[in-house]
Structure 1
Amino acid sequence: MAGGDPGEVESAKRALKAAAIGYGLAILAPVLVTVLQSIVGAGTDGGGGK
């Protein structure tokens, strides 16, 4: 679709790279949330005792 235009080819490469990074982050998001919760301690009974 770029018709051999080097600028368009580079633009397409950047777009594909950004899309791949986005999909990767979307797949890893649940894992990252679990890790962050374990670091922060969210979801555990902190003994607040309400």
Structure 2
Amino acid sequence: MKLPERAKNRGDYFIVRSTKEYCEIIYLPRTEGISTTQVKKDMASLMKL
């Protein structure tokens, strides 16, 4: 798998016109009872410790 240089440098955004060129994408169903926003907040508060 070859990725553009920007992806290797861990940029904030990675946008491509055709993802099939780089990898296969599998869409997973939402997980009920899990809030991504809350998980991010919890992780951010742990990073401050």
TM range (shorter): 0.3 to 0.5
Q: Whose relative contact order is higher, 1 or 2, with alpha carbons under 8 Å and at least 6 apart?
A: 2
Rg larger in structure: 1
Higher helix share: 1
